[in-house]
Structure 1
Amino acid sequence: MAETSTRSTPTLDAAADGLSHRARIWLLAVASMDVLLVISSMVALNAALPDIAVQTSASQSQLTWIVDGYTLALACLLLPAGAVGDRYGRRGALLLGMAVFLVASLAPTLLDSPTQIIVARAAAGVGAAFIMPATLSLLTAAFPKSERSKAVGIWAGVAGSGAIIGFLGTGVLLEFFGWQSIFYALAGAALLMLILTGTIGSSRDETATPIDWLGASLIGVAIAVFVLGVVEAPVQGWGDPLVVGCLAAGILLGGAFATVELRRRHPLLDVRLFARADFATGAVGITFLFFANFGFFYIVMQFMQLVMDYTPLQTAFALAPLALPVLILSATVHLYLPRLGLRGSASIGLLLLAGGLFLMRFLTADATFIDLAWPLLVMACGIGICTAPTTSAIMGAVPDEKQGVASAVNDATREIGAAVGIAVAGSILAAVYHGALTPHLSPYPAEIRDSATDSLASALRASELMGPQGGQLATLAQDAFMQSMDHALLVMAVVIATAAVFVAVWSPGRDGRQAGFIRHIRRRGAHRASGPASSAQTGTGP
C-alpha cells in the first residue's frame, strides 16, 4: 500500500500572520453570511410548496424533488468541491459557487414549470457545494490557533441557526408576496454576497497536490445514491427494492472509496482519520445533531401549523428564539470547551437535545406557545453546546493543507444527517398516523378515507369540505397525528441518547485522551493484529 504524502507545507499560523485583525473579522462576517445563505436556501421553499403546487400543477413527487434536488446535488459534490478549493484557491471556488447559485436562483422567476424548477434547484445545489467547504476552510487558514476555535464557533452557530433564519425569511416574504419572491430574494442575496466575497483574501494548498478524481467520483456517487434511497424511503417504504438497492449501493461504493483511498499517494480523504477519536466524535456528533434538527423541524412545523393553527409567519417567529442560545453558546465555545473538553461538550449537548425531544412528547393538541417554548429552549442549549466543539474536532484533526476537504466532511455529515432525520421522522409519522386513523374511518366514504389517511393536512382539507359534519374527522385526524408525533419523537430521542453514550465512551476528554478502558481495548487489538508479523520477524513465536 502506498503511503500518504507527508510533504511539508507552510502552517496556517504562518499564513494567518499576513492578515490584520480587521481583515480576519471581515472574513469571518462574509464567510458566515455565505454559509447562512446556503443553509437558509435548504428550507426556504418548504412553506411555499402549496402555492407552487397550485400555480404550476406540480405533483407530490415533483414537489418533493423541488426541495430534495438541492440537497442531493449539494451532498454528493461537497468533497470534490472542497478538494478543488484546496487545490486551486478557496476564494475562487467560493466565487464560482456563488455565481452558479445566483444564476440558478434567478432561473425559476423566468422558467416556472415543475421540471425547470427542479433542475434550477439542483444547479443551485451544485453552486452551494462549492460555497460551504470554502467558507470554513478560509477561516481556519486565516485565524491563528489561539483564535480559531472562537471563529469556528461563530461560523458553526450561524450555520446551526440557518434553518430558522430561512423559515423566518420565507414566512415574511409569503405574508406579502408570491412564491417567486423567494427566488428573487435568494438571487439578490447571492449577488450581494458575490460582491462582498470578492473583497476577502484567499488561501490554498501550497503543495499543489493533484486532485484524486477517482476518489471524488466514487464518494460523490456513493453519497448521491445513498441519499436518493433515504429521500425515497418515506414514499416508497424502507423495504422497497429501489430504496434497499440505493442504500446498499451507497454503502458498497463507500467501501470501494475507502479501499481506493488507502492505496493512493494523494488521497482525497485519508479514511484512517475516522480511527481518530476526535475526528470520529466530530463526525458522529454533527451527523446526529442534524438528524435531530431536521427531523424535529419536519415534525414541529406540521404540529404548529396544523394543530396549533399557526400561520407560516407565526411559526417562523415562534421558532426564531431557538437561534439565540445556539448563537451565544457557539460564539463562547472558547470559554467552556477547555473546561468540559470534547467529550463533555458533545455528550452533554446531545443529552440535552435528546431530553428536549423527549419533553416535546408531553405536548397536547391544545398546547400554548409557553408549553412549546421550554422544550425548545432545552434543545437549543443542547445544539449550541454541541455544534462548535464537534465542528472544531473535525477541522483540527485534518492537516492544514486539506482544510477544504475537512470542511466538506463536516458539511457532508450535516447533509446526510439531515436527509436521514427527515426520512426517519417522515416514515414513522406516516406509518403510525395511517395505522391510528384507519380503524376509525369506516363510517366515511372511500374518497374521504383515502384523502384523510394521506396526511393530517389532507384530512383537515377533507373535513372542511364536509361542513359541520367534518369536525369529528378533524379531531380523529389530529389525535392520530399526536400519536404519530409521540412515536417519532421517542425514536429520535432514543437515537440521540445512544449517540451521546457513544460520544461519552469514545471521545477524548480534556487531556485529549480516551477513557482508559477504551485505550486498553485498542492497544490489545493493535497488539493482536501485529503479533504474528512481529513473531515471524523476530523468530520468537509462541
Structure 2
Amino acid sequence: MDTQTRRGGRYKWVALSNTTLGVLMSALDGSIVIISLPAIFRGIGLDPLAPANIGYLLWMILGYLLVSAVLVVTLGRLGDMFGRVRMYNVGFVIFSVASVALSFDPFHAGGGALWLIGWRVVQAVGGSMLTANSAAILTDAFPREQRGMALGVNQITALAGQFLGLVAGGLLAELDWRAVFWVSVPFGIFGTVWSIRSLREISRPQRARIDWGGNVTFALGTAVILASITYGIQPYGGAATGWGNPWVLGGLGAGIALLAGFCVIETRVPSPMFQLSLFRIRAFTAGNLAALLTAIARGGMQFMLIIWLQGIWLPLHGYDYEKTPLWAGIYLLPLTAGFLIAGPVSGFLSDRFGARLFSTGGLLLVAGSFLGLLALPVDFSYPAFALLLVLSGIGQGMFSAPNTSAIMSSVPDNQRGVASGMRSTFQNSGTSLSIGVFFSLMIAGLAGSLPSTLTGGLQAHGVPADVAANIAQLPPVSTLFAAFLGSNPVAHLVGPGLLNQLSPADSAALTGKEFFPNLISGPFHDGLVTVFVAAAAMALVAALASASRGKRYFHQD
C-alpha cells in the first residue's frame, strides 16, 4: 500500500479514531487523580493535610506531568528512528499494564502512596509514547488539506480529556477510589489490540545512532528543574515557600546547566535527539512559544478554578465537602463544551484560511475571559461564571487545533516524530510550570493576609488567643491544599479536644460549611487577582507570538 493510498479511504479515519482514543486516555489519566485525591488518600489511610504528607500529595499530581514533559521528545525521536506506530503500540501496552497495577495497590499509608506514585510514573511513560507519536501518525495519514481538521479533533480531545478527567474522577471516587484506575483498563486493552491490528507504518523509519548524551542531559535537566519547582511550593524554615531553600536554588542552577550542555551536544552530534534546526522555521518556533505560554496560563486557570469551587463557592451554596470534587467537575463542563465546539470547527476552517487568524483570535478571547473572571466576586452568579468558561473554552479550541496543524505541517516528513515530541514537551512543561508559578503566587498572597484573618476568625468563636496564633502560623500551603481538595481543615487544625471544650454553637460554626470559605475568601481573592492578571498577560504574549508566525507554510519534502 503506497502513501497516497494510505492517505485516502478508510485508513486515515482508523488512524484518527485510534489516536484520539489514545490521547484521550493519556490526558484523562493526567487529571482524573486531581479531583479524586481525597478519596484515594482516605482509601490508603493517609491524611493529605498533614505537613509530612504534602510531598506525597504533590508527587501524585506532578509525577505524571513531569515524566510526560521529560520523555516525549525522546520517544518522538525514537518513533522517527524505529517506527511511530511501533512506539505508539508499545505505549498502549505499558499504559494498560500500569493501569492494572494501580488498581491493585497492596500497601497502606506511605507505602501505598509510593506504590501509586511509582506506577503513575510507569503509566506516564506509556502515555508519553501515545502523545509523542499520535500527531505524527495523523500527519502521515492525512493529506495536508485535511490535517487541520484531523489534528484539531485529536488535540481538542486531549485538552477536553483534562477537564473530563475532573468529572470522571469525581464520579468514580464516589463508587470506590480504585475505580479511578480501573476505568482505563478496558479501554487500554481494547486500544492496544485495535492499534496493533489496524495501524501501519507510512513513513519509512530513519535509522540512526541514539543520541545518548542529548537524551541524558535533557532528561536530567528537565527533571531536576521541574522537581525543584515542585519543592519550591513547599514551606522551608519559617518561609511560606521553599524558594529560599539552597537545594531548590541549587537544583534550578544544575538543571539550567544541564540544559545548556544539552544544547551544545545537540549542535555537535550527527543525529541529535532535539532538532534545534527546526527553530529556524518561524511557524514552528512561534507556534511552540505560544503553546508553552498558553499551557502555563491554562494550567493555572484549571487549578485556581478547582480551588475556587471546592474550597469556597460550593460550600457557601450548601454542598457537603465530601461532594465538592464531583460537583466542581460538573460545574466546569462549560469549559469542555467550549473546547468541543470550537476545536474541530477551527481546525477545519484553518485548512482553508490558515492558522494565524484563528489562533491569535482565540488567545485574545482567552485573555478576555481571564479578565472577566477577575471581575467576578468570590461568591459569583453561576450563569456569568459559566459564560466566561464557555468563552475561554472556545478561545482555547480556536487556538489549539490550528496551532498544532501549523506546527506539524511546517517540519520535514522525517522529523515529524521529534517535532510532535517537542510540541508535547512545551505543552506538558507549561502545565508543570503552571503549578509552581501559580501556586507560589497564591501562597504569597495568602501569606500576607491569611494569618491575621485566621487568628481573628478563630478567636471570635472562642478559640484561645495563643492557640489561634499558633494555628495561624502554620504554612498557608496546607490551607491552599485543603481548598484544592475540597476539605474543611478547621476541625483538623483546632483538634477534637479543643472543639469539645467550646460551646456547641462555636464548635458547629467552626466545622460548618460557611466558616472556612468565608475565612479564606478575602485572602484568596487577593491571590486570585495576581494569578489571573499574570495568566491574562501570558495569553496576550502568546497571542503576539501567534500573530508573528507569518503566512501559511507547508514544508516541501
What is the TM-score with the length of structure 1 in the denominator? 0.86
Q: Deviations over 1:289-338 (max 9, x none)?
A: 21111111100011111212162222222222322332332212355436
Superposition pairs of residues 315-330 of structure 1, within 5 angstroms: 315-330=328-343
Partner of 1:147: 146
Partner of 2:33: 45
CA distance in 2: counterparts of 1:335 and 1:24, whole angstroms: 16
Helix, strand or coil at the partner of 1:420 = helix
Partner of 2:550: 508
Q: Is the 8 A contact 2:98 2:120 kept in 1?
A: yes
Partner of 1:134: 133
CA distance in 1: counterparts of 2:383 and 2:491, whole angstroms: 29
**1:25 partner letter:** W
Partner of 2:190: 192
**2:60 partner letter:** I
Q: 1:335 to 1:342 in 2, by over 3 A?
A: same
- Would you say 1:101 and 2:95 are equivalent positions? yes
Q: Deviations over 1:248-303 (max 9, x none)?
A: 32222222222222222222232022232101111112111211111111000111
Q: 1:473 to 1:369 in 2, by over 3 A?
A: closer
* Root mean square deviation of aligned Cα: 2.4
Q: Structure 2 regions of 5+ residues with no counterpart?
A: 47-52, 235-240, 460-467, 493-498, 500-505
CA distance in 1: counterparts of 2:152 and 2:365, whole angstroms: 19
- Would you say 1:422 and 2:467 are equivalent positions? no
What's the offset of the Cα at 1:229?
2.0
CA distance in 2: counterparts of 1:47 and 1:214, whole angstroms: 38
Answer with 196-205 or 405-414: which moved more: 196-205
Partner of 2:302: 297
CA distance in 2: counterparts of 1:42 and 1:511, whole angstroms: 33
Partner of 1:7: none
Q: Is the 8 A contact 2:11 2:141 kept in 1?
A: no
What's the offset of the Cα at 1:145?
1.6
CA distance in 1: counterparts of 2:206 and 2:540, whole angstroms: 42
Partner of 2:489: 461
Partner of 1:261: 266
**2:328 partner letter:** T
Q: 1:21 to 1:282 in 2, by over 3 A?
A: same
**1:64 partner letter:** L
| Higher RCO (Cα < 8 Å, 6 or more apart) | 2
In the alignment of these two chains, the number of paired residues is: 499
Q: Is the 8 A contact 1:451 1:462 kept in 2?
A: no
Q: Is the 8 A contact 2:479 2:489 kept in 1?
A: no
Q: Is the 8 A contact 1:93 1:134 kept in 2?
A: yes
CA distance in 2: counterparts of 1:301 and 1:184, whole angstroms: 24
CA distance in 1: counterparts of 2:437 and 2:521, whole angstroms: 20
Helix, strand or coil at the partner of 1:165 = helix
Superposition pairs of residues 401-420 of structure 1, within 5 angstroms: 401-420=414-433
Q: Is the 8 A contact 2:91 2:127 kept in 1?
A: yes
Answer with 231-240 or 455-464: which moved more: 455-464
Partner of 1:517: none
CA distance in 2: counterparts of 1:447 and 1:191, whole angstroms: 52
CA distance in 1: counterparts of 2:435 and 2:167, whole angstroms: 20
- Would you say 1:243 and 2:248 are equivalent positions? yes
- Would you say 1:61 and 2:55 are equivalent positions? yes
Q: 1:365 to 1:496 in 2, by over 3 A?
A: same
Q: 1:413 to 1:353 in 2, by over 3 A?
A: same
What is the TM-score with the length of structure 2 in the denominator? 0.84
Q: 1:327 to 1:304 in 2, by over 3 A?
A: same
- Would you say 1:435 and 2:445 are equivalent positions? no
What's the offset of the Cα at 1:360?
0.6
Answer with 312-321 or 459-468: which moved more: 459-468
**2:535 partner letter:** M
Helix, strand or coil at the partner of 2:489 = helix
Q: 1:212 to 1:474 in 2, by over 3 A?
A: closer
What's the offset of the Cα at 1:510?
5.0
Partner of 2:371: 358
Helix, strand or coil at the partner of 1:295 = helix
Superposition pairs of residues 139-538 of structure 1, within 5 angstroms: 139-175=138-174, 177-203=175-201, 204-235=203-234, 236-309=241-314, 311-337=324-350, 341-443=354-456, 444=459, 445-450=468-473, 453=476, 454-455=478-479, 457=482, 460-462=488-490, 467-470=507-510, 474-504=517-547, 506-509=548-551
Q: Is the 8 A contact 1:35 1:132 kept in 2?
A: yes
**1:193 partner letter:** G
Q: Structure 1 regions of 5+ residues with no counterpart?
A: 1-12, 513-542
What's the offset of the Cα at 1:390?
1.7
What's the offset of the Cα at 1:103?
1.5
Helix, strand or coil at the partner of 2:183 = helix
Helix, strand or coil at the partner of 1:110 = coil
Helix, strand or coil at the partner of 1:21 = coil
Q: Deviations over 1:135-164 (max 9, x none)?
A: 111111111222222211111111121111
What's the offset of the Cα at 1:201?
2.1
Same amino acid, percent of matched pairs: 26
Q: Is the 8 A contact 2:23 2:134 kept in 1?
A: yes
CA distance in 2: counterparts of 1:40 and 1:136, whole angstroms: 17
